[in-house]
Structure 1
């Protein structure tokens, strides 16, 4: 009986609570359901054994043509990248350590599914198109006085650019005639003109290209002659040097080719979207509008333009390679709300009128336990079409006279790096090469420790070195002769040091032995010099 009363009591209590719940549910919306409380995103813990890339930066033991299947990103120069299907495709200038590529076609290319592991595929072209020689000699015949044809031109195959347009891929490529215009000495005559051509493909995996002929060539404007008074005469004969093409499609659907190297600056040339070529080339004005220059001479240390449009910021960004390419090469970027400019730097300088370009996004540098990298510019800037992540790709070279490496400065390694954007809309290049390290939730506590930091200045051919800095648990910063405070925004993964903001990322420590995962931060000084750092411990 006692047990029965107990059960009856439990039943009564249950009925009471069911009645209360029933009344509560009737007093509101009959369809109202409780909002689930979603679990927060899980913290991804990167294992110490994360299988990041382990290939050597000194690839000279595998630099030969017979070892090309092992190259990965070895022997890269002036890359351009686009995605087709599951693969990213990278095309480039004819260049390799020891000229291993000679005799094996032009505009080498490779592909990758993850931007980390790349397979060398061969060459896009086997020979220069016949129109190059024909166009060259037609131009020479129309000069005043007319010049005889060059029967066997010497060619350079440089700096292509790949872009998807509709269902086709357009490959803009540079072919340079390296012969002097007259005679045999480039100290007494300028070299012949360069040409930008166009080829199209429906499928990059097929490597089948239909050549569409000339897009534009170097053209004199009549202000200088083609003769030179010596090796120090830099009064360039051609107005714009027709190499280093890049292309952008505006939000309004206009197509623009941006090109140029040294000479009088960088040009923007409007294209017919249907053909990928200019509407006309009848007068010197038809060869493009000058959108950037470095000073006012006819021989400016600026080239390799890469133009993009970022729909999130509403700006066109013009990346430029400054200085000579073997050591001093460094990357600058400026921006404009209009494709034809004016383009301004982070300091407000008008680069269309000749101001120096700031910020600088790459420069010769070294972290500890590595020779460092020089000749670090002439970039491709591209997006993952699915995630919309931005990436930077260029070559970087080992420094000159590295012990144990013959002609070490000819070692050209492809660098792919992620790009992040500052709050005020400037692109920041990652301190370490991309390795597909899984993203984790970065907490303030994980920022505490010893870091290696490089605060770069612009110094011609001088490698910028790192110093150790400390971030303490009581938010103090010290190192490199600087003290101050730091704070961390874990939502946006931004560290603020003495008022300057830097983007924080998971990364691969390429200089560690063995290599391992780490964290990095990168950003700019107030004057547009890059600051790169990686955590040591």
Structure 2
């Protein structure tokens, strides 16, 4: 479920220059590998309201990011996302605008694939309406929304290309075709469409549109009536937004998509055309069985019986024999949080870390990958979800990227929750328990990625001291806050946790009681000046939470 962002309230802020490692200058890695690598900590402010105008887009870096998707192509990481910007600064300047980066830290603006709605959307919509016995909606009366693309590098016919699947949502009422801002007409609003485009020149914003892929579909035939605007029983079974795209090790291509309605659909594609492998037919049926045989099997649902559940934005990757399916929970403004499940088969069933069957809708899934949080001396972040997950080129490092929103009222700005900064975070793969060292699950690190060099082994002695510990637990629309944790030199701990701790320097795994967390170096973005510190992230299969922490330096 996506929203528009209307207000502009420019708050003047001074740019703060932050540097790292307790020095007033960029640092190096100390030559541990025989060379010195210059390292500069990012200096951009999280509150970008002073540069939010369209004319400042080349200064945005990761400002104005929403629902990102990332693919590596011709030496750059290209990122595209939902049409959303603070104060709607990007309105009228093209759809699915993007950014590109060589290092995942510094990003430049790039244009999106098109400026106007593709003509096929209105044609497809009115063709469906005609078959439903409904009058066409004049093209200039159709209300569009542009949401949540996914981009992947694929090889087609020996040519390496970028392939993008994108969502276009129609807001008009089904019965009358009237604007959704008009009087309620007793029906649901119209359907969403997923289209596709391809490019060999994303830097030049040159894309070829390939048209219709799928659309929202119903198992209720032509009964699109709605009792009232407070009726959330959903005419559409599958909501055709938020696609993710994967090529399996066997070379099969699939989309997984869906948002808020009945769950996530898995649709197999023709690897050459990128279109559905089988004919879809009319996007309605008299039963769920009939519908899903054409429009895709349901591979996941938060609640099996719900037609309006708070889960959306599937993202799927394959690693070490498992398909990992990440998803967003709850409303996107504050409570947005991320979960992950996995399966050995692309079609499922998908299970969480506790063994709950997500495909069967057996309840909320764990682990928590991200959640609203707040370290000390900061405003913290909310609305951290709808992620993409990708592997850094020629490495074994995996990354999580989403937007993070500032809470309301930051710097006196009542609309600061509409400020969305792109967050790139490393994923760590953490044991499910102390007795299952090889049962690894992905958790995002608590601090954003800044390409900190490898300064050498993280030793046990370097972890002794005071940390900010967050019990990252599910609490609807509430930021989990940090409390003090002290790791004592004698192997005991006090404060947020008590008992004993130990550390495996080879695996970079810190055991806090019965929870194993993974330790890395990252930048303390909340410090003044920003500086390098140690962070950790991890979980335990019965914890129903995640541990996040960073060391005070």
TM-score if structure 2 supplies the norm length? 0.86
Q: Distance in 2 between matches of 1:239 and 1:458?
A: 27
Matches within 5 A, 1:502-517: 502-517=517-532
Please say if residues 224 and 235 of structure 1, whose CA atoms lie closer than 8 Å, have aligned partners that are also in contact.
Answer: no
Partner of 1:397: 405
Q: What does 1:130-529 align with in structure 2 at a 5 Å threshold?
A: 130-143=119-132, 145-152=133-140, 153-166=142-155, 167-181=160-174, 182=176, 183=178, 184-185=182-183, 188-222=186-220, 225-279=223-277, 280-282=279-281, 284=291, 285-295=293-303, 296-310=305-319, 312=320, 314-355=321-362, 356-423=364-431, 424-440=439-455, 441-480=457-496, 482-525=497-540, 526-529=542-545
> Residue 84 of structure 1: which of 73, 81, 99 is its match?
73
Q: Compared with structure 1, are the counterparts of its residues 221 and 496 closer, same or farther at alpha carbon in structure 2 (3 Å cutoff)?
A: same
Distance in 1, matches of 2:233 and 2:411, equals 39
Query: Which range moved further: 398-407 or 482-491?
Result: 398-407
**Residues 494 and 139 of structure 1, relative CA distance in 2, 3 Å threshold:** same
CA contact (8 A) 2:260 2:309 kept: yes
Shift of 1:185: 3.9
CA–CA distance in structure 2, aligned partners of residues 388 and 157 of structure 1: 33
Between the aligned partners of 1:432 and 1:218, the Cα distance in structure 2 is 37
**Distance (whole Å) between structure 2 residues aligned to residue 368 and residue 213 of structure 1:** 49
C-alpha deviation, 1:43, in angstroms = 4.6
C-alpha contact (below 8 Å) 2:371/2:472 kept by paired residues:
yes
Residues 223, 237 of structure 1: 8 Å contact kept: no
Residues 44 and 438, structure 1, Cα contact 8 Å, conserved in 2: no
Give the match's secondary structure for 2:498.
strand
CA distance in 2, matches of 1:375, 1:224: 36
Q: Which runs of 5+ in 1 are unaligned?
A: 1-40
Is the contact made by 2:408 and 2:414 (CA closer than 8 Å) also made in structure 1? no
Please identify the structure whose Cα radius of gyration is greater.
1
Q: Deviation at 1:281?
A: 0.6
CA contact (8 A) 2:61 2:108 kept: yes
Which whole-Å deviations, capped at 9, do the CAs of 1:244-290 have from their partners, x for residues lacking one? Answer: 00011111111110000011111100111111111211262211100
Name the SS for the 2:87 alignment partner.
Answer: helix
Deviations 1:309-353 (A, max 9, x none): 11x2x1001101000110110001000000011110111101111
Deviation at residue 46 of structure 1 after TM alignment: 12
1:162–1:170 Cα contact (<8 Å) kept: yes
Q: What's the counterpart of residue 32 of structure 1?
A: none
Q: TM-score, normalised by structure 1?
A: 0.89
Deviation sequence 1:93-137 (CA, Å, 0-9, x none): 000000000110100101111100111123221111100000000
Instruction: Go from structure 1 to structure 2 and tell me whether the alpha carbon gap of 1:149 and 1:156 turns closer, same or farther (over 3 Å shift).
Output: same
Residue 68 of structure 1 corresponds to 57
SS at match of 1:351: coil
| Secondary structure of residue in 1 paired with 2:462 | helix
Rounded Cα–Cα distance in structure 1 between residues aligned with 2:128 and 2:78: 35
Aligned length: 493
Stretches of structure 2 that go unaligned for 5 or more consecutive residues are 1-29, 283-290, 432-438
Residue 191 and residue 448 in structure 1: after superposition, are their counterparts in 2 closer, same or farther (change >3 A)? same
What's the secondary structure of 1:433's corresponding residue? coil
Alpha-carbon separation, structure 2, partners of 1:439 and 1:366: 27
C-alpha distance 530-186 of structure 1, shift in aligned 2 (>3 A): farther
Alpha-carbon distance between aligned partners in 2 of 1:113 and 1:327, rounded to the nearest angstrom: 31
* Structure 1 Cα separation of the partners of residues 499 and 357 of structure 2: 34
Distance 1:503 1:224, change over 3 A: farther
Asked whether the 8 Å contact 1:187–1:231 carries over to 2, the reply is: no
The Cα offsets for residues 137-191 of structure 1, whole Å up to 9 and x where unpaired, read as 0000110x43333432111110000011111211000011111213434583211
Output one character per residue of 1:326-382: Cα deviation in whole Å (capped at 9) or x when no partner.
011000100000001111011110111112221111111010111111111000000
Secondary structure of 2:203's counterpart equals: coil
Structure 1 match to 2:25: none
Q: CA deviation at 1:403?
A: 4.2
DSSP-derived class of the 1:426 partner: strand
Q: Measure how far apart 1:425 and its partner are.
A: 2.0
